[in-house]
Chain A
Amino acid sequence: MYTKFLKLALVLLICTTSCKKNNNDDDIPVADDAAFALWIQLGTWPNTSYYALNVKDLTQGSAKLQGNGIDVTTKLNNSVIVKDGFYYFYNAAEGRLGKYKLENGAVNVVKEVPFSHLASLAGHTWVNDHTLVMIGNNASGNAVNTVVINTDDLSITTGTVTGLPERPESYNKYLVGGDLQFKDGKLFFSVNMQNTTAFRVYPRLYTMAVSYPGFAVTKISTDDRSVGVGSTSGYFATSFVDHNGDMYFLTSWNLVWNENGSRAPKGIYRIKKGEDELDKTYYVDVLQETGKEAAAGVFMDLGNGKAILKVQETEGYENTKFGYIILDLATGNEVRKLTEIPAGASGERNIYVEDGKAYIAVLSGQGTDYIWIYDADSDKVTRGLSIQGGYNSFSRIDKLK
């Protein structure tokens, strides 16, 4: 009887373990290495996953994530920095800086080094093709730390910015701007002073010129019309130096700045070529100019004196739909809204700009999503690549080749 029982148990076990398909045995096609990676987010916490979908052409054809998404969840997140087909990612929680490449349908580690000098990555800029500068708070938030990375071998030089403006009493932390740009041989970025217990910032924007590679503040200019910082953390892109050598940045990360709980307006500033201070004659209050609140935040140079700005369909924080506006950089005036593009959800950095064209990934909520292409020269919007839809977000579009 006992042997019968054992046999029964064994049969039951074998039967049920073999019943289920092991999907790993299925042939899942591996996408070829391609020109672009579209980052797609799926699922709800705690099963949120990020996938990079390789696509050859953003302007036409169709793509499907199923079976083709490179699962990047455990190695990367969408705050990566991309250049020349490599991803650079600072994982603050694990104390790791790495260089990665998407190959053979997977994330391959080129190199990883121990690194924990920044509380988090606030901003980055390229000093040259091999030198990446990143800034962020120190761990306690009372200083701004820096790192210079040789991206060929991931050798790093860490430092701290000296000469930051003094913090007023009770404002215990710097909110460091990701609006970091390299212009005229210097670095430029902004800070706010933050009271972390009252969740409030001091109502003054401090923008600095900082020497490179000494990281000493050489000039501080202030403005009280808007208080906030941009972000080039990798998640977002809110500053650039245009072809004239002028730097523009958007304050898109705006906290409460007064006692009645309102948040500072989002504005665009300029520092002209050869100058170390804010251009006092230039300020664009985005809401006043366009009637829309700037999203947090994509503000990208189209290269012909125009820029594309992502805006919220509704004001405030509980918004999920976005629109896109073309601005004339010199005047700060709105050229037009891209009404051809349906208002839809999107991820943090859903726009890629190249050769005067903006490629915009929009979640339609209609089953099929599209890459919309705005051509600044012809001022026309066309519909490009279609993607089988239903995703949480399009977080990034990156050029890999």
Chain B
Amino acid sequence: MVAFFRNKGFRISLIFLLAMILLQGQGQTQRQQYVITARVVDTDNIPVEGVTVKIAGTAQSTRTDQAGVFLLPVPNTGNYSIALSSMGFEIQRQEIKAQQPGQINTDLIILSRNARQMDEVAVAGRSETRQLKEQGFAVNAIDTRRLANTTADLNQVLNRSTGVKVREQGGMGSDFEFSVNGLSGSAVKFFMDGVPLDIMGSAMSLNNIPVNLADRIEVYKGVAPIELGSDALGGAVNIVTNKSLANYLDISHSYGSFQSNQSALNTQYVHHPTGLVFKASGFFNYSKNNYLMRDVEAVENNAFVLRDLPRFNDRYRSLMGRFEVGVVNKSWADALFIGVGYTDFDKQVQTGVRQSIVYGNVSRDGNAKAASLRYSKTGLLADKLDLSLFANYSRDYSVVADTVLRNYRWDGSYTEGNSETGTFGLATVKRPRIFTRTNANYRLSDRHKLSLNYTLDQIENNAYNAYYAENDDMPGKLGKHIVGLAYQHEWFGRWTNTFMAKYYGLSTEKRQYDYGVQGMVNVSDYNSYYGYAIASVYKWTPHAGIKASYENTYRLQDVNEMFGDGFQIFNNLDLKPEASNNMNLGLYYGLQSGKHDWFVEALGTYRNVKDFISPNQYANNMIQYQNLTNSLVRGVEGEVRYGYGNWLSAMVNLTYQQAIDNTKYLNNDPSNGISSTYESEIPNRPWLFGNFDLGITKQGWPNHDSRLQLNLMTHFTQWYYRSWANISTENSTEIIPKQLIHSAIVSYATPGGKYNISFECRNLTNELTFDNFRLQRPGRACYVKLRYLLIQNN
């Protein structure tokens, strides 16, 4: 057994980082660094994002950012020949002069549109997002900047993309289940700029991050790049924030139904003479969530009656603030930032797993503090090595307060009863966490690339009931060491393969009472697992291709799942990680003809998951976590996008998933015989859902350069079984009915997009909507949002 080494990986990363900085500092005395930079605009002086800029005769390239700016470090002064290319534009070659950092003048490069495609072809939709879709990975890439004027949170945005199903239990801030191709819960991991989202605390989740804070969201299905360094079983969601070097201020506030208020701030100031960058972002969310529950039980004259009543214990408030300061474009660092962050949330809880279990005084609140350091440098070792490092220390605190012995009804009345959740007191969790991530990319040649990732994620879990105790005298520690190695090569300029290998090291440690020695003892373990993956894409034209990916991956065990609590949860040192074989096969095709712009993609998915970890309950209520079930999820999904000129856009997508219980032997134990649900469809899962979006934009109305936009959105979910199909009698079979939800947004932007106002109405027809186990969701809700956006391009 390998000893658990607290902070060791963190120290290694820090030392590595410092060494790199020092080495680079020494190098500086020998070799002066220069940069080439420019701002790329179209003939209307609109910045063009996503333009590929390549230095002729080298592999060195980059892309323009949101402000149209690119920046490339070069070793020598003098002129460089660059080529600029972007779909819809003529390829442009020109000379550009290298400049010294700190004395930069940003040139202007004007790209001409491709005559055949005319100047009405919308460019934004084909930038990074489409390029991502053309990779070997099965990925949804969503350009969220187009949605920045809406009041949506990221869950609502993602729920409109293929293969993704978000099931929220209520209104703003409610718990949700996020599934990608049928796998959900801990099978899907969330990241922001490649860093796990939850290191910023529990408030940092997809259901309350305003859309303004993200530039783009990537949903990796089944197979994720090693750079994310995760033990994701079913996929990964990566939120990409604004990386441009422009000064900007994006501030917004929305107000709407159920006393909902949402504010967001995202700003950056770049001091070009020194290269200092200050970044700040934050949000504040508040809602009473007092939407009307229809036909719920109240008590009148000591009898149950059905009434329409508002939710009364569902207020939600969250805030986040994050500040970063650093330098960019130094010879020794492309970027070096230190940052601090704080999140806080306070949430009332209205129901248990069913809406007939009503809570009137349960709340959950918490906060988290984080400090981070990030460093990146490209072009090391003769322009072959790119390096990025990230380190974070955070303390997350949350408490579920259940401190009254009452039984509530929907009318707010109560009688004396049990503790509402069944766990009386203040269930408190404190989690100090160290996270470090190192990514290195080494270009062997133009078409061959090696990547290495090392991630250390160490969490100490202190869980105790603060009503009775002051701390956890049996904390658990979990350390994940994930090493990923990828090799990517490109054949014939058409076929790109990425081969990946992963090592998962899991160190676990827990303090436990031992009856044998009648005292506390430390128990620990270390386990290793190996995974592998391949992602491949073959492009038979620049905008049509076929892609396939495969991964053998794991979701590592949790400390409590392995060691239990010594009292009511047995330990299980034989517990294995959840394992999955994931396969994707996809096609995409893009076509432009005159003003018509089509993009079609289709994907088939296969997930063979073994050894799901579930609690197994023994007769005396004792529990042990075991690898009880397997499942097989197969699906097909497709999306068609269409744009006409710059005034019409439409999208339709549809996802079909079939989730089968693949547990041949009951509880995976052959002595139990063949399970009766073997090869049955798993209940309580939507199996068919889709979206239809229609956007109409009127440019230059009512005055020049302003923009009026109308979006209509429809979300469809087919009925599904609440429990196992074909077992129950017809009269006792419960289904979650079909749902069709329409929403509309009208937004208006003044010239340059500086002032924006939008009106949004969700669930226009006030349809009764449900989610898990028939929990009712909000009816019609309307919002108005004001947004001020200022971008200052150098």
Question: With an 8 A cutoff between CB atoms, is A287 at the interface?
Answer: no
Contacts of B675 in A (CB 8 A): 390
Q: Give the complex CA separation of A320 and B628 in angstroms.
A: 14
Q: Give the complex CA separation of A93 and B570 in angstroms.
A: 26
Q: Of A46, A104, A114, A391, which is within 8 A of B299 by CB?
A: A114
Contact B304 A112 (CB under 8 A): yes
Contact B676 A390 (CB under 8 A): yes
Contact A139 B418 (CB under 8 A): yes
Question: With an 8 A cutoff between CB atoms, is B103 at the interface?
Answer: no
Q: Give the complex CA separation of A30 and B728 in angstroms.
A: 9
Contact A2 B629 (CB under 8 A): no
Q: Give the complex CA separation of A288 and B716 in angstroms.
A: 64
Q: Give the complex CA separation of A317 and B656 in angstroms.
A: 43
Contact B418 A317 (CB under 8 A): no
Closest CB-CB distance, B574 to chain A, in whole Å?
A: 12
Contact B642 A348 (CB under 8 A): no
Closest CB-CB distance, B145 to chain A, in whole Å?
A: 24
Contacts of A348 in B (CB 8 A): 619
Given that A2-B644, A12-B654, A317-B570 are known contacts, is A113 also in contact with B730, CB under 8 Å in the complex? Answer: no
The number of residue pairs between A and B whose CB atoms lie closer than 8 Å in the complex comes to 214
Q: Give the complex CA separation of A119 and B419 in angstroms.
A: 8
Contacts of A12 in B (CB 8 A): 638, 640, 652, 654
Question: With an 8 A cutoff between CB atoms, is B648 at the interface?
Answer: yes
Q: Which of B510-530 contact A (CB under 8 A)?
A: 515-516, 518
Q: Give the complex CA separation of A177 and B615 in angstroms.
A: 26
Contacts of A259 in B (CB 8 A): 518
Contact A317 B622 (CB under 8 A): yes
Contact B624 A116 (CB under 8 A): no
Contact A295 B419 (CB under 8 A): no
Closest CB-CB distance, B161 to chain A, in whole Å?
A: 16
Q: Which of B304, B666, B671 counts the most A-chain CB atoms under 10 A from its CB?
A: B666
Contact B620 A392 (CB under 8 A): no
Q: What band does the interface of chain A fall in when counting residues whose beta carbon is under 8 Å from B?
A: 35 or more
Closest A residue to B304 by beta carbon equals: A112
Contacts of B515 in A (CB 8 A): 260-262
Q: Give the complex CA separation of A65 and B687 in angstroms.
A: 24
Contacts of B628 in A (CB 8 A): 44
Closest A residue to B719 by beta carbon equals: A22
Contact A67 B417 (CB under 8 A): no
The prevalent SS among residues of A at the interface is loop
Contacts of B726 in A (CB 8 A): 23, 28, 66-67
Closest B residue to A4 by beta carbon equals: B642
Closest A residue to B727 by beta carbon equals: A69
Q: Of B303, B596, B676, which is within 8 A of A389 by CB?
A: B676
Contact A318 B624 (CB under 8 A): yes
Q: Mark B652-692, 1 if CB is under 8 A from A, else 0.
A: 10101000010100110001111111100011100110101
Question: With an 8 A cutoff between CB atoms, is B240 at the interface?
Answer: no
Closest CB-CB distance, A114 to chain B, in whole Å?
A: 5
Contacts of B407 in A (CB 8 A): 95, 116
Question: With an 8 A cutoff between CB atoms, is B192 at the interface?
Answer: no
Contacts of B733 in A (CB 8 A): 24, 28, 71
Contact B620 A296 (CB under 8 A): yes
Q: Give the complex CA separation of A340 and B114 in angstroms.
A: 86
Question: With an 8 A cutoff between CB atoms, is B718 at the interface?
Answer: yes
Q: Mark A250-273, 1 if CB is under 8 A from B, else 0.
A: 000100000111100000000000
Given that A95-B417, A363-B673 are known contacts, is A140 also in contact with B405, CB under 8 Å in the complex? Answer: yes
Closest CB-CB distance, A22 to chain B, in whole Å?
A: 7
Q: Give the complex CA separation of A46 and B177 in angstroms.
A: 13
Question: With an 8 A cutoff between CB atoms, is A199 at the interface?
Answer: yes
Contact B304 A114 (CB under 8 A): yes
Contacts of B303 in A (CB 8 A): 113-114
Q: Give the complex CA separation of A117 and B418 in angstroms.
A: 9
Q: Which of A1-32 contact B (CB under 8 A)?
A: 1-2, 5-6, 8-9, 12-13, 16-17, 20, 22-24, 27-31
Contact A42 B409 (CB under 8 A): no
Contact A9 B727 (CB under 8 A): no
Q: Give the complex CA separation of A246 and B734 in angstroms.
A: 46
Q: Mark A103-140, 1 if CB is under 8 A from B, else 0.
A: 01111000011101101100000000000000000011
Given that A9-B692, A20-B718, A318-B618 are known contacts, is A71 also in contact with B418, CB under 8 Å in the complex? Answer: no
Question: With an 8 A cutoff between CB atoms, is A308 at the interface?
Answer: no
Q: Of A44, A69, A199, which is within 8 A of B729 by CB?
A: A69
Q: Which of A359-401 contact B (CB under 8 A)?
A: 363-367, 388-392
Closest B residue to A5 by beta carbon equals: B642
Closest A residue to B572 by beta carbon equals: A318
Q: Mark B555-570, 1 if CB is under 8 A from A, else 0.
A: 0000000000001101
Given that A44-B663, A71-B723 are known contacts, is A253 also in contact with B730, CB under 8 Å in the complex? Answer: no
Q: Of B620, B676, B682, B731, which is within 8 A of A391 by CB?
A: B676
Contact A107 B732 (CB under 8 A): yes
Contact B418 A120 (CB under 8 A): yes
Given that A317-B620, A317-B622 are known contacts, is A116 also in contact with B352, CB under 8 Å in the complex? Answer: no
Q: Of B596, B674, B728, which is within 8 A of A367 by CB?
A: B674
Q: Give the complex CA separation of A51 and B724 in angstroms.
A: 10
Q: Which of B617-651 contact A (CB under 8 A)?
A: 618-620, 622, 624, 628-629, 638, 640, 642, 644, 648, 650
Contact B652 A106 (CB under 8 A): no
Closest B residue to A199 by beta carbon equals: B567
Closest CB-CB distance, A352 to chain B, in whole Å?
A: 18
Contact A49 B667 (CB under 8 A): no
Given that A47-B723, A93-B357 are known contacts, is A365 also in contact with B672, CB under 8 Å in the complex? Answer: yes
Closest B residue to A30 by beta carbon equals: B729
Contact A30 B302 (CB under 8 A): no
Q: Give the complex CA separation of A114 and B298 in angstroms.
A: 10
Closest CB-CB distance, B569 to chain A, in whole Å?
A: 11
Given that A9-B692, A93-B357, A114-B409 are known contacts, is A44 also in contact with B667, CB under 8 Å in the complex? Answer: yes
Contact B731 A17 (CB under 8 A): no
Question: With an 8 A cutoff between CB atoms, is B792 at the interface?
Answer: no
Contacts of A43 in B (CB 8 A): 661, 677, 683, 723-724
Question: With an 8 A cutoff between CB atoms, is B356 at the interface?
Answer: yes
Q: Which of A95, A107, A262, A319 counts the most B-chain CB atoms under 10 A from its CB?
A: A95
Closest A residue to B594 by beta carbon equals: A1
Given that A139-B419, A260-B515, A390-B666 are known contacts, is A295 also in contact with B619, CB under 8 Å in the complex? Answer: yes
Given that A16-B688, A44-B629, A197-B468 are known contacts, is A72 also in contact with B622, CB under 8 Å in the complex? Answer: no
Q: Give the complex CA separation of A68 and B733 in angstroms.
A: 10
Contact B678 A390 (CB under 8 A): yes
Contacts of A93 in B (CB 8 A): 352, 357, 418, 422
Contacts of A345 in B (CB 8 A): 672
Given that A22-B719, A71-B728, A317-B620 are known contacts, is A116 also in contact with B422, CB under 8 Å in the complex? Answer: no
Q: Which of A43, A66, A117 counts the most B-chain CB atoms under 10 A from its CB?
A: A43
Contact A30 B730 (CB under 8 A): yes
Q: Mark B679-718, 1 if CB is under 8 A from A, else 0.
A: 0001110011010100000000000000000000000101
Contacts of B671 in A (CB 8 A): 365
Closest CB-CB distance, B70 to chain A, in whole Å?
A: 35
Question: With an 8 A cutoff between CB atoms, is A70 at the interface?
Answer: yes
Closest B residue to A235 by beta carbon equals: B619
Contacts of A364 in B (CB 8 A): 673
Contact B644 A42 (CB under 8 A): no
Given that A139-B405, A295-B619, A390-B666 are known contacts, is A51 also in contact with B727, CB under 8 Å in the complex? Answer: yes
Closest CB-CB distance, B689 to chain A, in whole Å?
A: 10
Q: Of B352, B570, B654, B727, which is within 8 A of A16 by CB?
A: B654
What are the 5 tightest A-B residue pairs by CB atom distance, in nearest-first order?
Answer: A261-B515, A105-B729, A365-B673, A390-B676, A116-B417
With A51-B727, A95-B409, A261-B515 given, name 6 new contacts (CB 8 A). Answer: A24-B733, A28-B730, A70-B732, A197-B469, A260-B515, A363-B673
Please name 21 pairs of A and B residues whose Cβ atoms are closer than 8 Å in the assembled complex, sorted by A: A12-B652, A13-B654, A23-B725, A24-B735, A28-B728, A44-B628, A44-B663, A47-B682, A69-B728, A92-B417, A93-B357, A96-B304, A105-B732, A106-B732, A112-B304, A319-B618, A320-B672, A363-B672, A389-B674, A391-B666, A392-B666
